[in-house]
Chain A
Amino acid sequence: MNGAHRRGARIRLAIAGAATIALLGPLTWFWYDSLMPESYSVMDMGYADYGGAAPHHGAHHMPGGRSVTALTADPDRTADVAVNLIARKQRFRLPTGRSVDGYTLNGTSPGPVIHATAGQLVQVTLVNESVPDGITLHWHGLDVPNAMDGVAGVTQDAVGVGKSFTYRFVADQVGTFWYHSHQVSHEQVRRGLLGALVVAPASGPRPGTVDVVALLHLYGGARTVNGREGDVRVQARPGERVRVRVVNTENGQTPVWVGGSPFRLVAVDGTDLHEPAPVRDTAVLLTAGGRADLEVTMPADGSAVRVHIGGPGGVVLGSRTYDAPAVRRPTKTLDLLAYGRPAPLGFDPEAASRRFDYDIGRRPGFLDGRPGIWWTVNGHMFPDVPMFVVAEGDVVRMRVSNNSGETHPMHLHGHHAVVLSRDGVRATGSPWWVDSLEVGNGETYEIAFVADNPGVWMDHCHNLPHAAEGLVAHLMYEGVTTPFTVGGTADNEPE
């Protein structure tokens, strides 16, 4: 009887052990399978998606071809605008006295506003004095040559302490842009490695126009405009036109609205809108990473105007007085799908030679060994994400849909895409060109662009922690390769 009991106990134990293995075995396998190598090329990541076209050179996973390092601005041309930026890890003070432990460029955060005129060659020498993880600079919204795109591990190595890197590009787009580190970006951007960049038209600024940059950033939870908590005051006389260039450097969208005057939204993401009409009692929802240029004509009676950026604070425009009471956020939000008047796009989206889906979801799993509920692209979790492959000259259509439960500001590097439709409703307003597009939960956007800037380009969520959680894919051109790797000796970590 004792023997039978012992045998029973042994069987019990065996069943318990088998059940444990049945439970933990697959989990261990999924965990192990998710571990990333110490160093990898984004070109070997995931699977190639040719967008319905036949691969010409079997580009994905194939060595050879043109290196991204060769995709530069004319090396013989001298710089028209030369800027040195020295990056430091340091404790610094906001103008209001708040102490911030973060990073600076030339001793300040945000870094200096870089001004250029259309057609000028901009040369920025970045020196890393003391940022331990290394740094890069990405020119957000400027469709620069790929070698200058500043993505650590894709277009360059992170610039280590004591090293420098020179960026050169022709500023041929007129508008509002910004720059930020693309090395450990979810941490370095938040802590201050960023600044604004404005490209003025070659014809010069319009007479009678005041031009203001209003860069939104949160330092240690404190909301600032141009690094200042509270209002930024700008002098503008009655009748003058003021262009307020609002830059959202944050990870979430923010509403912008105007009290005391109607306004026109004259540009989005560095591209002028066509014939935008004046609006009032309407808010503009500014995508994370996006820019909105608002134009206000100062009231003739000399009263002040308040441009709200996400709250009661923002930019106060005035001359005799700066007394502009805060107004509530209007309930109405400007719909860019039907704002302004149509104009030729310069290409035919119906003649698309590649069609891609970028479907964002979410599911439980392991990301580099970390359990969690992670983002997916077309049902696949990072790094098993699509590599969108195009050839130079292709007209590309992309359907971006989001069923992940959260909104995502999607940012395509190196290109501007035009919005064709949202949830099946066609765009009927001004051409709406974006580099950062807020795709709300449950929404589907159709966008189109011309593949005219060869390289390997990130196409990711600009809620930067989401990118670090795997919401990253790439767009690559056939015949282009990158010698850089994520990880490796430079410890490249683009997200």
Chain B
Amino acid sequence: MRTVYKVLAYLVAIEVAVQAMAVVFADAGMGKWVEQGGVLDKAVMESDESPFPEVIGFMIHGINGMMVIPLIALLLLISSFFTKIPGAVKAAALVVVLVAIQVSLGLAGHEIPAVGALHGLNALLLFSAAVYAAFRGRGAGADAVSQPQSIRTVG
């Protein structure tokens, strides 16, 4: 279960990186498209079909952010219940809370762009929390194995 926990924690971190890459990829594609004469209005924004290929970045960002990452975070929290790693539940809970904040900030950013800036900042916190959780898994692993052994020698 320790490996599962560790892998899930790393997955969250990787997903946050994917999110950052996807959104900039799409944003750059949009800029290039406008540069070449494309016009963006709400009708284009709401059209499912992409006027520029990089729009897929926005879709990835949305699906990843609202579905995939919350699911991984949830699985991370569940896996933390079953590991003996000290502080695992706390670290996983922190990840879950930051994911919830991140989704809220992302949606609120559509309304208040300054909140969108916090979405960018919180992404760094979430990335750090995920890596922190993963590192706990690595460091504490040895303790979890050695502790019962030392008890046995005393007994």
Chain A residues in contact with chain B, CB under 8 A?
1-2, 5, 12-13, 15-17, 19-20, 23-24, 186, 190, 216, 218-223, 248, 250-255, 288, 310-312, 362, 364, 371-373, 405-407, 441-442, 463, 465
Q: What residues of chain B lie closer than 8 Å to A221, measured between beta carbons?
A: 44, 47, 49-52
Inter-subunit contact B43/A248 (CB<8 Å) = yes
Of all chain B residues, the one with the shortest Cβ separation from A308 is B39
Inter-subunit contact A251/B47 (CB<8 Å) = yes
Known: A1-B151, A312-B39, A406-B110. A372 touches B67 (CB 8 A): yes
Number of residues of chain B lying within 8 A (CB) of chain A: 33
Interface string of B106-133 (1 = CB under 8 A from A): 0110110000000000000000000000
Inter-subunit contact A405/B78 (CB<8 Å) = no
**Most chain A CB within a 10 A radius of its CB, from B46, B51, B108:** B46
Inter-subunit contact A252/B81 (CB<8 Å) = no
**Cα-based distance from A20 to B74 in the complex (angstroms):** 10
Of all chain B residues, the one with the shortest Cβ separation from A219 is B49
Q: Ordered nearest first, which 5 A-B pairs have the shortest CB separation?
A: A252-B42, A311-B39, A252-B46, A221-B51, A16-B81
Inter-subunit contact B107/A405 (CB<8 Å) = yes
**Cα-based distance from A311 to B70 in the complex (angstroms):** 38
Inter-subunit contact B46/A288 (CB<8 Å) = yes
Q: Is B20 an interface residue (CB 8 A)?
A: no
Q: What residues of chain A lie closer than 8 Å to B41, measured between beta carbons?
A: 252-255, 310-311
Inter-subunit contact A190/B47 (CB<8 Å) = yes
**Most chain B CB within a 10 A radius of its CB, from A2, A221, A250, A441:** A221
Inter-subunit contact B81/A19 (CB<8 Å) = yes
Q: What residues of chain A lie closer than 8 Å to B51, measured between beta carbons?
A: 218, 221-223
**7 sample A-B contacts, Cβ–Cβ < 8 Å, listed by A number:** A1-B151, A2-B155, A19-B81, A186-B48, A221-B47, A310-B44, A362-B107
Within 8 A of A (CB), among B69-116: 70-71, 74, 77-78, 81-82, 84, 103, 107-108, 110-111
Please pick, from A23, A216, A220, A252, the residue contacting B45 in the complex, using a CB distance under 8 A: A252
Q: Shortest Cβ distance from A402 into chain B, in angstroms?
A: 11
Q: What residues of chain A lie closer than 8 Å to B49, measured between beta carbons?
A: 190, 218-221
**Cα-based distance from A254 to B46 in the complex (angstroms):** 11
Inter-subunit contact B46/A250 (CB<8 Å) = yes
- Supply 6 further A-B pairs (C-beta < 8 A) apart from A190-B49, A218-B43, A254-B42: A13-B82, A15-B81, A222-B51, A310-B39, A373-B66, A463-B46
Q: What residues of chain A lie closer than 8 Å to B155, measured between beta carbons?
A: 1-2
Within 8 A of A (CB), among B24-81: 37, 39, 41-52, 66-67, 70-71, 74, 77-78, 81
**Cα-based distance from A310 to B148 in the complex (angstroms):** 70
**Cα-based distance from A488 to B116 in the complex (angstroms):** 43
Inter-subunit contact B42/A253 (CB<8 Å) = yes
Q: Shortest Cβ distance from B113 into chain A, in angstroms?
A: 12
**Cα-based distance from A223 to B46 in the complex (angstroms):** 12
Q: What residues of chain A lie closer than 8 Å to B45, measured between beta carbons?
A: 252
**Cα-based distance from A220 to B110 in the complex (angstroms):** 25
Known: A19-B81, A373-B66. A288 touches B107 (CB 8 A): no
Q: Shortest Cβ distance from A228 into chain B, in angstroms?
A: 16
**Cα-based distance from A219 to B71 in the complex (angstroms):** 34
**Cα-based distance from A248 to B155 in the complex (angstroms):** 81
Q: What residues of chain B lie closer than 8 Å to A248, measured between beta carbons?
A: 43
Known: A16-B82, A19-B81, A20-B78. A252 touches B43 (CB 8 A): yes
Inter-subunit contact A24/B48 (CB<8 Å) = no
**Most chain B CB within a 10 A radius of its CB, from A2, A16, A362, A465:** A16
Known: A1-B155, A19-B81, A20-B81. A218 touches B103 (CB 8 A): no
Known: A221-B51, A312-B39, A372-B67. A405 touches B110 (CB 8 A): yes
